[in-house]
Amino acid sequence: MNKTAFCTALLAIAIAGDAAFAAPLFFTVDASQSSLSIDPTSLFGVPDSEQEQAPGSWTASYYGGIVADVTSSTIQILPTTTLVAGNSGIWGPAPIYPTTDPASDRAENDLAYANSSAPANYGTVVDYSNRPPINGVAPPSASNSAIRDLRLSLSDSSPKTLAGDGSFSEAGIQPDFQSGIVWLTYGNASFSGPYSDLSGDGINVTPTVDTAGQGTLTRVGDLLTLTLPLEFTESHFGSSTVYSGTIVATASVPEPLTATLLLPAASPLACVRRRRL
């Protein structure tokens, strides 16, 4: 094949590749390679007293699916993406409040609840001994909280540039909590339970930052692998939690399509320029 014919074919392949992936791709999250860790800060606790309930209680694996529009030169994470946190262990408290009737107006006064535990995504213990006594009762020096039923969506507001080596910036992706409950053993309570609903009002979630590292989209045979470093912050009622880690997901597509998908966008254009010489 002469140079002109080759370049014409290359350009046609690149265009066909973009058209072939007009429909979004679904990437299955690999739970064995995907996890997010938390770093919580409590507004009311003793500064820097936040700790894991046990080693590993601040790191959870994730499964689910990432939905993305992908062309030979761009990638865009779509809001139909769902990341589901796995349970990292058995942490307190269990979602059983109240255990007495009538319920106490303070979670820490229901000892059966305060000392309970059950499978959870994350578990934290905080020292509240710096708080003033309530009704003559001193606050606990070790109060547990547990996050359960955590689901996240992710979305890009616009396509991002996908470099020829498959790298792209993961900064600016907007996470959103589809569900998630933080069960608490210190604070005001009611029959509905002493908890914070992460999918409710008053929850603020920042876009991802670029300190986590570049995302990548790579190909081996007909398998596309999406590696997505994430770091973002959730805050409510003056407290905050940083989530950070890496999500790895894969999608299987026919070999000819993957070849056009990851073809550097500059290649056919460079051919066109050479043809005009």
Residue 111: half-sphere exposure toward Cβ, Cα within 13 Å: 0
CA R_g for the chain: 24
Work out the angle between the directed axes of helices 3-20 and 266-276 (0-180°, nearest 10).
150
User: What local confidence, expressed as pLDDT, does residue 9 receive?
Assistant: 38
Q: How far is CA 256 from the centre of its chain?
A: 31
- Rounded to an integer, what distance in angstroms lies between the CA atom of residue 243 and that of residue 201? 20
pLDDT tens for each residue of 117-166: 999 999 999 998 888 887 777 888 899 999 999 999 999 999 999 999 99
User: What local confidence, expressed as pLDDT, does residue 229 receive?
Assistant: 95
User: What local confidence, expressed as pLDDT, does residue 261 receive?
Assistant: 55
pLDDT tens-digit profile, the chain (277 residues): 554 444 333 333 343 444 445 579 999 999 999 999 999 999 888 888 999 999 999 999 999 999 999 998 999 999 999 999 999 999 999 998 887 766 667 888 888 899 999 999 999 999 988 888 877 778 888 999 999 999 999 999 999 999 999 999 999 999 999 999 999 998 887 666 788 899 988 899 999 987 667 899 999 999 999 999 999 999 988 899 999 999 999 999 876 555 555 554 443 333 333 333 3
Structure-block tokens of residue 117: 């535990």
Phi, psi (rounded to 5 degrees) for 217 = -125, 115
> Domain extents for the chain?
27-256
User: What local confidence, expressed as pLDDT, does residue 255 receive?
Assistant: 64
pTM score: 0.83
